[in-house]
Amino acid sequence: MAKTWRVSPDGLKYTLHLRQRLRFSDGHPVDADDVLFSSKVYLDENAHSPQRDSLIIADKPIVVKRLDAYTLVFKLEKPYAATEKAV
């Protein structure tokens, strides 16, 4: 989904620029709000998401912020090698 991404020199911040014109299977467009929503659901303990553990680093959840309709920033508590491979 990401067109480009940039990792901060300290490895704690990932800025992702989503591809535009992505669509869900029902034809609705995908944007940063959808990624933000999904990250909140994955982190919700009541959802019992199998992805939750991969979004917790050093006992802190990855913080996701929307910068605009197609740009997000993911902030990590500490550098985590698996994160760059997942992006």
Distance CA 77, CA 63 (A): 9
pTM of the model: 0.86
For the chain, which residues make up each domain, given as ranges?
2-86
Which stretches does DSSP call E strand in the chain? 2-7, 13-18, 56-57, 60-61, 63-68, 71-75
- pLDDT tens-place string over residues 45-74: 999 999 899 899 999 999 999 999 999 999
In this structure, which topology does domain 2-86 adopt according to CATH?
A: Dipeptide-binding Protein; domain 1 (3.90.76)
Give the model confidence (pLDDT) of 14-42 as tens digits.
Answer: 999 999 999 999 999 999 999 999 999 99
- What is the C-alpha separation between 21 and 7, in angstroms, rounded? 24
Length of the chain in residues, anyone? 87
Reading the block at residue 19, the tokens are 């591809």
